[in-house]
A and B are shown apart, each in its own frame.
Chain A
């Protein structure tokens, strides 16, 4: 069955960067799209951007341009998101999800805490 396994919780200092991973199995990763989302606890969900694993092509929410960078490693069927110049406003749970129009498959989420 389809699985999306995200990396563990992160505690990072302001100004630092962090790289989150989303390891997949159970479907053809190399011809699929992956989206990433941000959710501050107690708030709604924001779409960060999307990447096509076939050629690495990306599309970003304007709000997250310069903050998030999406990449993939097709050899390990893993998607990555780099978050840079972190501030306390980046403290949130981040989800990966297979990007179709329907978003039926989600990772379990990873909590990123930005604190000195």
Chain B
């Protein structure tokens, strides 16, 4: 199975601060169809996961543009440019290139 290693496990940020989360894969996530199925999701407390970014860098409809994704092959980053209070929760990277689908261990974002 593909292992996704997320760092850091926790982040503490002030409102307006920019933060980044890393996700490293044990295998390349470049699919034979040319796409890279690495997604970022946010799970707010007590809620189901919400898709933020799909295929590395595509912003899901309705998601604020302070969220951005980058990377390729095995190394990926989610950046929040100007954290807001509603951004608290656990961020997961998830890969859908290889079966079984797998998730990172999560990064908990706390607001100072």
User: In the complex, which residues 86-106 of chain B have their Cβ closer than 8 Å to any Cβ of chain A?
Assistant: 92, 94, 96, 99-106
Decide: B48 and A95 in contact? CB cutoff 8 A.
Answer: yes
A4, B109: Cα distance in complex, Å: 27
Give chain B interface residues in 66-108, CB to chain A under 8 Å.
92, 94, 96, 99-106
Given contacts A44-B103, A45-B49, A107-B48, contact A101 B96 (CB under 8 A): yes
Q: How many positions in chain B have a CB within 8 Å of any CB in the partner chain?
A: 23
Min CB gap A45→B, angstroms? 5
* Complex contact B100–A102 (CB within 8 A): no
Contact A104 B60 (CB under 8 A): yes
State whether A103 touches B48 (Cβ < 8 A).
no
Query: In the bound complex, what is the Cα–Cα distance between A39 and B50 (angstroms)?
Result: 15
In the bound complex, residues from chain B placing their C-beta under 8 Å from that of A97 are 48-49
Q: How far is the CA of A46 from the CA of B102 in the complex (A)?
A: 7
Task: Give a binary string over A70-102; 1 marks a CB under 8 Å from any B CB, 0 the rest.
Answer: 000000000000000000000000010100011
Contact A103 B92 (CB under 8 A): no
Binary contact track B51-74/A, C-beta < 8 Å → 1, others 0: 100110000100000000000000
A47 to chain B: which residues have CB within 8 Å?
Answer: 100-103
Contact in complex: B35, A101 (CB < 8 Å): yes
- Cβ contact of B54, chosen from A44, A63, A101, cutoff 8 A: A101
Are A44 and B105 closer than 8 Å at their CB atoms? Answer: yes
Complex alpha-carbon distance, A59 and B106, angstroms: 25
A-B contacts, 20 listed (Cβ < 8 Å): A44-B104, A45-B103, A47-B103, A61-B100, A63-B100, A95-B49, A101-B54, A102-B37, A102-B51, A102-B55, A102-B60, A102-B96, A103-B39, A103-B41, A103-B49, A103-B51, A106-B49, A106-B50, A107-B48, A109-B48
Enumerate the 8 nearest inter-chain pairs by beta-carbon distance, A residue then B residue, closest first. Answer: A47-B101, A106-B48, A102-B54, A61-B100, A104-B51, A45-B103, A101-B37, A101-B96
Interface residues of A (CB under 8 A from B): 35, 44-47, 59, 61-63, 95, 97, 101-104, 106-109
Please report B residues at the A interface, Cβ cutoff 8 Å: 35, 37, 39, 41, 47-51, 54-55, 60, 92, 94, 96, 99-106
